[in-house]
Chains A and B, each alone.
Chain A
Amino acid sequence: MLTLVLPKLVSFEGAGRRSASVAERNVTALGSAYWLVMLGGFLEPVLYLFSIGIGVGQLIGDIGLPGGATVSYAEFVAPAMLAASAMSGALSETTFNFFGKMKYMRLYEGMLATPVRPIEIALGELAWAMIRGSIYSAAFLVIMVAMDLTTPGRALSAFPATVLVGFAFGALGMMTSTLIRSWQDFDLIGSAQFALFLFSGTFVPATAYPAALRWLVEVTPLYRSVDLIRGITTGTVGWVQALDVVYLLVLLAVGLAVAGRRMERMLCK
């Protein structure tokens, strides 16, 4: 898929292998502390699902989808938590960790003295972020099936969608990391991420907002992700979901291209 989106950037022979070696480095660097961080990242959406999806859901009852179908509130919230966890998994790896490696560990400087090129570092880091995000997603989908919030078949088809969501947010995070200057800016990213989490049709349907605000919500990447995954897990896929897929693919391509270009400019002066 990536070779289709970015034929020019990855046409060099061995690029895939070199990107894989960058991801491999991260596997080697895994320490015991990392598993705790990963566990935290996994638990967060699960806690939201239980507290709000189930807890608050009992006060709300059923909720109507744009297509006309009616689902329980937990069924409504669960796919949104899934999309949000794919987002946060990808972002934590491509913002904080990526920025640290680039600016402070001088890790990429060492890599660039080898045949590895900036865009291949970006691809390798993104692939790595995806592995982490995908583990979150798969675990969450298992919980959803166990709680009867979706069917096993729908869960299986939702999985690749979560991978796409992760890829898109990973590329976005990486692009942002190459544009920001200091650690302080991460507070902004954190706030933006939380705002997305609250208002992207996650807990409340976007139709509940006034027209102008609704329009704003519907162009955000997390809204498109939630829309895509919710369509799949509730079995209400329509043409809008095709639009979601295109949106996320464009985000992925632009994010990756900008990140690769910026890294080249910063590291290959």
Chain B
Amino acid sequence: MNSPLIQARGLIKRFGDFTAVDGIDVDVRAGEAFGFLGPNGAGKSSTMRMIGCVSPPSEGELRILGMDPRRDGPRIRARLGVCPQLDNLDTELTVRENLTTYARFFGIPRKVARARAAELLEFVQLSERADSKVDPLSGGMKRRLTIARALVNEPDLVLLDEPTTGLDPQARHLVWERLFRLKQQGVTLVLTTHYMDEAEQLCDRLVVMDGGRIVAEGSPRELIERYSTREVVELRFTTDEQGTYAEKLAGMADRIEVLPDRVLMYVADGDDALAEVHRRSLSPSSALVRRSSLEDVFLHLTGRTLVD
């Protein structure tokens, strides 16, 4: 009963010479919300496609719902809900038909499909657009419809690849709220994201991926405790040379990071540290004390270089 829904050992995915996923171990347990966090190109989507049984692993062991994706693909997929990174809704069908037709692919009887479509449209707040085609819908609506479609077979496991990328804040919050409800209903969620707030809001446990490898694993809280300090002081100085302050601030923080526009001090107590800064009359033009976030962990682990 308590065997993991997803179990990966030494999982590798290669595309020609390029290794997208480079030997990862993952366990996802029933009922949890599990996140793959990482910059673009970290191997998140490739991992998701392998879990979704549409991409055969190059090497390693992978078991989904206790079955082997190489052999039991259709049987596993029957119990999965997949929300891909790019919407692939059927533009020739209406909103409602997108759900009923998709249900038919799972062998769900027409009558049940219609009832479930109505229920799900209610759940994602699209009932009023039921007979509209897909194209005129906004990005957020399409995403919600894709999520509804992923739920049409009442899956045990829902895979969401960057569920809120490209959505405006209102749309993102609506999606989060619906996902949170699913989680409360006991649905196991696996999602990828590069938004820290999303990971903090939704994930019980997550792994940080970089360059095809897992570089850290734990709950958002644990990761912050392990890889960051409790608080962060952000200082801006009027001079262009933020760098010269690194030396002056040395010894006052666990770690100091110099960015082009500001200096970050990783400390246990932000107010104490700021008082010390003022006492040494280093007078920053602005100062902000905040709690450490997953973003600090993420940037610490995956570096600040831009990855496309």
Contact of A29 among B15, B78, B90 (CB under 8 A): B90
CB of A46 within 8 Å of the partner chain = no
- Tell whether A106 is near chain B: CB-to-CB under 8 Å: yes
Given A25-B90, A268-B56 in contact, is the A113-B101 Cβ separation under 8 Å?
Answer: no
Residues of A contacting B106 in the complex (Cβ-Cβ under 8 angstroms): 114-115
Interface size class of A (residues with CB under 8 A): 20 to 34
Selected from A22, A31, A114, the residue in CB contact (under 8 A) with B92 is A31
Interchain CA distance A267-B73 in the complex, whole Å = 14
- Bound Cα distance from A171 to B45, whole angstroms: 33
Q: Contact at B105–A18, with CB atoms within 8 Å?
A: yes
Q: Does A21 lie within 8 Å of B107, measured CB to CB?
A: yes
Kindly state whether residue A116 has any CB partner on chain B within 8 Å.
yes
With contacts A21-B107, A29-B93, A268-B56 taken as known, whether A114 is within 8 angstroms of B102 at the C-beta atoms is: yes
Interface status of B112 (Cβ within 8 A of chain A)? no
Would you call A28 and B89 a contact (CB within 8 A)?
A: no
Q: Contacts A14-B107, A18-B105, A21-B104 given; indicate if A114 touches B93 (C-beta within 8 A).
A: no
A117 touches B101 (CB 8 A): no
Question: Is B43 on the interface with A (CB-CB < 8 A)?
Answer: no
In the complex, the chain B residue whose C-beta lies closest to that of A269 is: B55
* Interface size counted on chain B using CB atoms at 8 A: 30
Closest B residue to A22 by CB, please name it.
B105
CB of A17 within 8 A of chain B? yes
The minimal Cβ–Cβ distance linking A15 to chain B, given in whole angstroms, is 9
Closest to A112 in B: B54
Q: Which residue of B lies closest to A30 (CB)?
A: B92
A108 CA / B89 CA spacing, docked (Å): 10
Q: Is B84 an interface residue (CB 8 A)?
A: yes
Contact status A269-B15, CB under 8 Å: yes
Would B77 and A113 count as touching, CB distance under 8 A? yes
B248 to chain A minimum Cβ distance, whole angstroms, is 53
Chain B, 12-61, CB within 8 A of any chain A CB = 15, 52, 54-56
Is B88 interfacial (CB 8 A cutoff)?
Answer: yes
Residues of A within 8 A of B104 (CB): 21, 24-25
Partner of B54 from A12, A17, A18, A268 at Cβ < 8 Å: A268
A198 to chain B, nearest CB (A): 34
- A107 close to B90 (CB less than 8 A): yes
Asked if B55 and A18 sit within 8 Å, CB to CB, the answer is no
A110 within 8 Å of B (CB atoms): yes
**Which residues of A lie under 8 Å from residue B97 when comparing CB positions?**
28-29
A247 CA to B14 CA, complexed, in Å: 41
Contacts of A112 in B (CB 8 A): 54
Min Cβ gap B151→A in Å is: 13
Are B102 and A115 neighbours in the complex by a CB distance under 8 Å? no
State whether the Cβ of B173 lies closer than 8 Å to any Cβ in chain A: no
Q: A14-B107, A18-B107, A115-B78 are in contact. Are A25 and B15 (CB under 8 A)?
A: no
**Could you tell me which residues of chain B, from 86 to 113, have a CB within 8 Å of some CB in chain A?**
86, 88-93, 97, 100-102, 104-107
- Bound-state CA distance A220–B268 (Å) is 81
B77/A114 in contact, CB under 8 A: yes
The interface residues of chain B lying within 8 Å CB-to-CB of A115 are 73-75, 77-78, 105-107
The answer, yes or no, to whether A109 is at the interface (CB within 8 Å) is yes
Report the Cα distance A107→B52, complex, angstroms: 16
Residues on A with C-beta less than 8 A from B153 are: 114
Q: Is the CB of B80 within 8 A of A113?
A: yes
Say whether B74 contacts A117, CB under 8 Å: yes
A56 proximal to B (CB < 8 A): no
Bound-state CA distance A112–B56 (Å) is 13
A105 contacts the other chain (CB 8 A):
yes
The answer to the question of A216 belonging to the interface, with a C-beta cut-off of 8 Å to chain B, is: no
Select which of B55, B73, B78, B88 is within 8 A of A110 by beta carbon.
B88
A113-155 residues at the B interface, CB under 8 angstroms:
113-117
Contact with B along A1-34 (1 / 0, CB 8 A): 0000000000010100110011011001101000
Which of A14, A28, A109 makes the CB contact (< 8 A) with B101?
Answer: A28
From residue B90, how far is it (CB to closest CB) to chain A in Å? Answer: 6
Q: Decide: B101 and A25 in contact? CB cutoff 8 A.
A: yes
Task: Please give, as numbers and ranges, the residues of chain B lying within 8 Å of A24 by CB-CB distance.
Answer: 101, 104
Is A47 part of the contact surface with B, judged by Cβ < 8 Å? no
Q: Is the CB of A116 within 8 A of B101?
A: no
Q: Which of B15, B74, B93 contacts A28 (CB 8 A)?
A: B93
Task: Judge whether A17 and B107 touch: CB under 8 Å.
Answer: yes
Question: A18-B105, A110-B102, A115-B107 are contacts. A105–B91 as well, Cβ < 8 Å?
Answer: yes
Contact with A along B176-217 (1 / 0, CB 8 A): 000000000000000000000000000000000000000000
Contact B107 A268 (CB under 8 A): no
Q: Is A111 an interface residue (CB 8 A)?
A: yes
A267 neighbours in B (Cβ, 8 Å):
54
How many Å from the CB of B239 to the closest CB on chain A?
Answer: 52
Shortest Cβ gap from A33 to chain B (Å):
11
Residues from chain B with Cβ under 8 Å of A18 in the complex: 74, 105, 107
Residues of A within 8 A of B (CB): 12, 14, 17-18, 21-22, 24-25, 28-29, 31, 105-107, 109-117, 267-269
Q: Which 7 pairs between the two chains have the least Cβ-Cβ distance?
A: A114-B105, A115-B74, A113-B82, A106-B88, A29-B92, A21-B104, A110-B88
